[in-house]
Amino acid sequence: MSCLFIQEKASSEMYFWSFFLIGALILGLRGDNVIKTLVQVPTDQWDLMHDVAEKSTTTLVRLIVVTRNNEKEVERLKKEFEQITDPTHHSYGNYVSYDEIHEMILPETEKNGKAIEQWAKKYPVRVAPTANKEFIVIEATADEIERMFQTKLHTYRHKMTGQRTLRATEYQLAEIIHHRIAYIEGLTRFPAISNRNEKKTFVPISTEKAKSNAPIIFRISSGFSKFLIYIQLICADGKQASNSLCSNDFKGFVIELRQDKNKKLVTREVPIADTNCQVCRKATAINAEYCTVFNLDNDSVLCRFFLNNETDIGNYEAYQITIRSIFKTKYSDKAAYPSPTEKVTTVTPNVLLSLYNVDDNKNEIRNVNSRQAIAGFQEYLNLNSFKSFARTYGKKFSLTLGKIYGRDYRNKTYDEGETSLDLQYMSAMGSRIPTDYISSPSNFDGFLIDFFVQLAILEHNKNNIVPLVYSISYAADEGEQGQTPMYPGSSPYVTSVGGTQLVRSNDTSNCARFIPEEPNVCLEEITAYTNKLTACLITSGGGFSLYNSRPTYQKKSVQSYLKLATKDKQLPPVSYFKRSNRAYPDISLIANDYIIKSNGNFDLFAGGTSASSPAAAGMISLINDRRLNQGMKPLGFLNPLLYSLAEKHPNAFFDITKGKNNCNESPKCCKYGFSAAKHFDLVTGLGSINHGVLMKLLT
């Protein structure tokens, strides 16, 4: 679940976000003016490395000490934040700056931070506090950290990813310092492993007899409005092709497509030159990656190709597909794809422009204070990919890269997919608005804490024009309780974005959604969920937070949803979620089959809320820009306004009423999930945004 993080001057999210601990239980034991803190290691996820040498004493360790806030001051901050973000309150929009928050509301935080800073400077370590001391960054060698915190650092390895990290199982601090610290990032809490790093493996989904010589179909998806087919080659004798294309016996494929509706049959022959069949050990990078995804050994042969010449095969038309291999003297048995599938429109900025009625005056001069940003975590920023996307898919837009913060973005060993997706679509939909990139350091795994440190530095520097909209396409589990809420999407202080997909509407008599790319097809937006018909590979998250109580702004919407869903028996058992807590997402956008540029000029398909969030964020930036040009204040935190608009102006959103989020890997589905419904629901929120209506209402 991705999120928009929208602010005016300073964000309260920085100060009272949920300090939950992932996989670490911390317990303080009082001694003579010293408090020992014990850490319960999440042994179900991390192994202690007994068989490797301990870390070097010169290993650099980076910690962020989070200063403890005064609870009464935080409650006051929450109250004032609620008032200035409530469109019905007389204080609406009267935001204060980052420094003013600390001076007027959180003075105790700075006092505590100064004491921590003075204590830390007694040791031979690098100490770098933020301006108002809410974060104290400490960098030192491992042996200095051990002396400083009276601890021992151990090497742990994550069971699934193999990632290694240094962590303590206990540490000691003087009581006078201990009580000034909320917690220490990088010392005790184990790194959050993002779900997007998990590699799924797939089993064959064509169901042929064991001795058949039919090819094995792994997947049929859609790209460039063409069918993209993934096949393991089987030879004429029924054995898997090994280290060759069946010793030159293989000549290609015959593909039959029978339209599900009118039974029209279309036949295509794909010659060997167009099959892109490769032995896994010798495969190109992308084919080799899919060999891993499909769990093929190095000798196997994977064929991955587009079905070309498809002018008589329409989009959003379901087809039953069968495939046979062509050999020198015969055809193979048929392999049948187990369910109907269809091609869908590839999402580009132009598609988003028409689908969401985006109001963007191309001749409008951008305000000097308009700025937006994305957060990157151990990602490579490929400027060539950004420029290539602008040339190819952004001709009607002006993609403007702003400032780049951090150093880690230059590391070419990192993947660039997430950063390319985020930058390309936020910049396109927020056309001509500078898009900054904030990169977190490679030697640190503190996830959002380091991001907040960087925001504090940006906010304090009076020479900076700080972004008004942030997009974060990363998440970590809040915890384990039936469902798995994703943070920060489950935070009440961000705008959480869900995902949708497009299908052909059955209600052609009352159709209102057309796009130029499909002028004769009435389209309908439904919940994004993994299925073979549209080849959607992602499922929209959603549900209830485990830790955050329900904010006032969404109480009415959520209560209405729960009442209707309970009546219609559309809810999981009550033990699976906390119905009184924060519900998410807040809004949605299409999340299936985006095209991006990667590795310079390579077309790649992407999806998920990692796509919908930056696209939505760019659209919000357009509204902010026009408000600034009209002498109005920027929107600030969106959620109270969104829920108010949904009640008074429901046409500001496209209501999503179909779909469920219980299927995360077709055909396997969970027993329970949340369903889309009229108005607000737990998979698409208030719906997708009608940008043109929002622009008129808010400017």
Report the pLDDT value the prediction gives residue 210, as an integer from 0 to 100. 56
Query: Confidence band (pLDDT; 50, 70, 90) for 248?
Result: very high
CA dihedral 497, 502, 506, 510 (to 10 degrees): 70
Report the pLDDT value the prediction gives residue 76, as an integer from 0 to 100. 96
Which residues are within 8 A (CB) of 613 and not within 5 positions of it... i.e. 6 or more apart?
2, 3, 4, 422, 471, 472, 473, 497, 589
Same-domain check for residues 272 and 185: no
* Rounded Cα distance, 609 and 498, in Å: 6
Q: What is the pLDDT of residues 574-628, one digit of tens each?
A: 878 888 999 999 999 999 999 999 988 888 888 888 999 999 999 999 999 999 9
Residue 17 lies in a domain: no
Report the pLDDT value the prediction gives residue 500, as an integer from 0 to 100. 95
Decide which of 46 and 489 is more confident: 46
* Rounded Cα distance, 5 and 15, in Å: 14
Same-domain check for residues 250 and 117: no
CB 235 within 8 A of CB 241: yes
Identify the active-site residue in 431, 610, 612, 688.
610
Percent of the chain predicted with pLDDT > 90? 60
CATH code, domain with 308: 2.60.40
- Assess whether 593 carries a catalytic annotation: no
Query: Confidence band (pLDDT; 50, 70, 90) for 442?
Result: low
Domain residues for the domain of 175 are 23-70+106-191
Report the pLDDT value the prediction gives residue 193, as an integer from 0 to 100. 65
Report the pLDDT value the prediction gives residue 531, as an integer from 0 to 100. 84
- Assess whether 317 carries a catalytic annotation: no
* pLDDT value at 347 more than 50: yes
Report the pLDDT value the prediction gives residue 102, as an integer from 0 to 100. 94
DSSP percent split of the chain into helix, strand, coil, nearest 5: 25, 30, 45
Residue 394 lies in a domain: yes
Same-domain check for residues 176 and 295: no
Using the 3D structure, point to which of 273, 302, 336 is the last residue of a domain: 336
- Assess whether 647 carries a catalytic annotation: no
Q: Which two tokens stand for residue 590?
A: 């299409």
Same-domain check for residues 129 and 254: no
* Amino acid sitting at position 259: Q
CB 134 within 8 A of CB 66: yes
Report the pLDDT value the prediction gives residue 2, as an integer from 0 to 100. 62
pTM here? 0.88
Residues paired with residue 270 on neighbouring β-strands, in sequence order: 253
Residue 36 lies in a domain: yes
Residue range 489-510: mean pLDDT, rounded: 89
Report the pLDDT value the prediction gives residue 191, as an integer from 0 to 100. 79
Q: Is 83 helix (H, G, I), strand (E, B) or coil?
A: helix
Report the pLDDT value the prediction gives residue 199, as an integer from 0 to 100. 42
Report the pLDDT value the prediction gives residue 161, as an integer from 0 to 100. 81
* pLDDT value at 26 more than 70: no
- Classify residue 203 as exposed, middle or buried by CB count within 10 Å of its CB (0-12, 13-18, 19+): exposed
Beta-carbon count within 10 A of 432 CB: 18
Identify the active-site residue in 8, 80, 359, 418.
418
* pLDDT value at 201 more than 50: no
CB 625 within 8 A of CB 465: no
Using the 3D structure, point to which of 295, 313, 336 is the last residue of a domain: 336
Same-domain check for residues 359 and 287: no
How far is Cα of residue 84 from the mean position of the Cα atoms in its chain? 29
CB 582 within 8 A of CB 491: yes
Report the pLDDT value the prediction gives residue 622, as an integer from 0 to 100. 97
CB 105 within 8 A of CB 78: no
Same-domain check for residues 250 and 134: no
* pLDDT value at 286 more than 90: no
Q: What is the pLDDT of residues 632-680, one digit of tens each?
A: 999 999 999 999 999 999 999 999 999 888 877 655 778 888 889 999 9
Report the pLDDT value the prediction gives residue 672, as an integer from 0 to 100. 84
Q: How many domains does the chain have?
A: 3
Residue 6 lies in a domain: no
Report the pLDDT value the prediction gives residue 642, as an integer from 0 to 100. 98
Residue range 537-557: mean pLDDT, rounded: 91
H or E element, residue 118 = helix 107-120
Same-domain check for residues 227 and 364: no
* Rounded Cα distance, 550 and 555, in Å: 7
CA dihedral 183, 185, 187, 193 (to 10 degrees): 130
Residue 154 lies in a domain: yes
Strand locations in 538-664, DSSP E?
A: 543-549, 581-584, 587-590, 594-598, 602-606, 653-654
Report the pLDDT value the prediction gives residue 595, as an integer from 0 to 100. 93
Least confident of 33-42, 133-142, 582-591: 33-42
Same-domain check for residues 272 and 245: yes
Same-domain check for residues 327 and 374: no
Computed over every residue of the chain, the mean pLDDT equals: 87
Residue 207 lies in a domain: no
Strands 495-504 and 587-590: parallel
Query: Confidence band (pLDDT; 50, 70, 90) for 198?
Result: very low
Same-domain check for residues 433 and 545: yes
Q: What is the pLDDT of residues 465-487, one digit of tens each?
A: 999 999 998 766 554 444 566 77
Identify the active-site residue in 422, 459, 525, 655.
422
Residue 636 lies in a domain: yes
Strands 372-377 and 469-472: parallel
Same-domain check for residues 534 and 449: yes
* Rounded Cα distance, 604 and 147, in Å: 49
Q: What is residue 615's DSSP assignment?
A: H
Residue 99 lies in a domain: no
Report the pLDDT value the prediction gives residue 564, as an integer from 0 to 100. 87
Residue range 103-121: mean pLDDT, rounded: 96
* pLDDT value at 73 more than 70: yes
Same-domain check for residues 524 and 636: yes
H or E element, residue 333 = none
Q: Which two tokens stand for residue 312?
A: 């008589």
CATH code, domain with 677: 3.40.50.200
Distances (CA, A) of 365 to 368, 373, 432, 433, 616: 9, 19, 9, 10, 21
Using the 3D structure, point to which of 336, 370, 397 is the last residue of a domain: 336
Query: Confidence band (pLDDT; 50, 70, 90) for 7?
Result: very low
